[in-house]
Amino acid sequence: MELIGHRLSAEELRAVLDDPKTVSLLLFGGLDDEDAEMPDPELDLHKAWHALFYLLAGTAGRSDDPAAAAVLGGEDIGDEGGYGPARLLSVETVRLVATALDM
């Protein structure tokens, strides 16, 4: 499993909420076209996500720590992408994560 992050603009967020299938286009581009390139991720932790989660949460398992939501937070959205569906963090969750990381 890998963690790839993408910050959504207000327009992208509306599109994703209106049609969750839009997530695949934002993350992977139009892969039906052989010449299409995948968009560059804004954050690509590859497989280091689990180590980062452990550092933030103090555990390898589930955590209610707001800082841990930076890695495994949010709600499933869109189609299964091979490693599970994308996860969408709400504006409120992002604020909680930011506050927790600032401490």
pLDDT tens sequence across 4-41: 888 888 998 999 999 998 888 887 776 555 555 666 76
pLDDT of residue 87: 92
Question: Mean pLDDT across the chain, nearest whole number?
Answer: 85
Total domains present in the chain: 1
Which pair of tokens denotes residue 91? 């504006």
What is the span of the domain harbouring residue 53?
3-102
Distance of CA 45 to the CA centre of its chain: 11
pLDDT band for position 75 (cuts 50, 70, 90): very high
Angle at 65 between CA 63 and CA 66, to 5 degrees: 125
Q: What percent of the chain has pLDDT over 70?
A: 89
pLDDT of residue 98: 94
